Amino acid sequence: MMENKDKEIFGGERVSIREALVEMKSLSEKIIDLAYAAIIFDSDDLANEVENIEEKLDRLLYRVRLTALMAGRDPQLAEQLLGILQVASAAEQIGDAAVSISRLLSTNVEYRPFIPFILKGGDEIIRALMVDESSDLVNRSIGGLEVEGETGARIIAIKRGNRWIFNVSDDTVIKPGDTLIVRGVEGGVEDLEAYCKGERRWGQ
C-alpha cells in the first residue's frame, strides 16, 4: 500500500512527500509554541502533546527517508531529495529541542516557577485566557470570528474541563469556561483578553 503510494509520488504529482514535508514544517513551528507554553503554565498535558508531536515528526521523517530511498537512480531526482531530506531532518531536530524544553517539567527542580516568570517576556507572549459566559466568543467558531485577524493573537490550544484541544482549527467552536492558550504580541493578547472577559463587544 505504502509502496504503491510512494511510487506514485515520484511518478507524477509528488503529493505524498510534499504533504509530509508541509506537515513537518507546520508541526516544527507549532511544537516550539507548545513547549514554551508547557513550561510557562507548568502543564504536563502540554508537555505530553509536545512528545506526541515529536513522535509524529519522527514518523514523518522516517516516511520521507523511506520514500527517498525508493526513488531509484535518477540523478536530478536525487538532488531534489537531498534538499527535502535536509529540511525534514532539521524539522525533526527542532522537535527534539522542543522536547528538551518541555522535559524540564519532569526534572526534579524545586524552583521551576522562576522559569515561567522569565518566559512571559519577549516579542511575543504566551498567555492563558478564560472565556466568561458573557463573552461574545461563546458558541462561535474561531474561523467565523477571525480571531487572529481581529486581534493578532493566535489560539494554540484550548483547555475544556478536563480535556485539551490541541488540534485547534477554524471550525473549533469556543465554549464558556474554555481556557484559551494564546500567543501574540502583548497588545493583541490584551485585546483578546478583553473579549474573553466580556469587557468588550466583538468587532468594537
Residue 144 within binding range of a copy of itself, rule CB under 8 A: no
Q: Which stretch binds a copy of itself (CB under 8 A): 13-21, 46-54, 64-72, 129-137?
A: 13-21
Binding residues with a copy of itself: total (CB under 8 A): 61
Name which of 77 and 176 has its Cβ closer to a copy of itself. Answer: 77
Torsion of CA 67, 72, 74, 76, to 10 degrees: 20
157's enclosing H/E stretch is: strand 154-160
The answer to whether 183 touches 128, Cβ cutoff 8 Å, is: no
* Spatial distance between the Cα atoms of 80 and 163, rounded to a whole number of angstroms: 42
Q: Which residues contact 52 (CB under 8 A, 6 or more apart)?
A: none
When binding is defined by CB under 8 A, the residue of 51, 65, 71, 104 that contacts a copy of itself is 104
When binding is defined by CB under 8 A, the residue of 21, 157, 180, 182 that contacts a copy of itself is 21
* Spatial distance between the Cα atoms of 169 and 157, rounded to a whole number of angstroms: 10
Q: What is residue 123's DSSP assignment?
A: S
Residue 71 within binding range of a copy of itself, rule CB under 8 A: no
Name which of 26 and 139 has its Cβ closer to a copy of itself. Answer: 26
Residue 52 within binding range of a copy of itself, rule CB under 8 A: no
The answer to whether 16 touches 23, Cβ cutoff 8 Å, is: no
Interface ranges with a copy of itself (CB under 8 A): 14, 18, 21-23, 25-26, 28-30, 32-33, 35-36, 39, 76, 79-80, 82-84, 86-87, 89-91, 93-94, 96-98, 100-101, 103-104, 107, 109-112, 114-115, 118-119, 121-124, 146-152, 154, 184-185, 187-188, 191
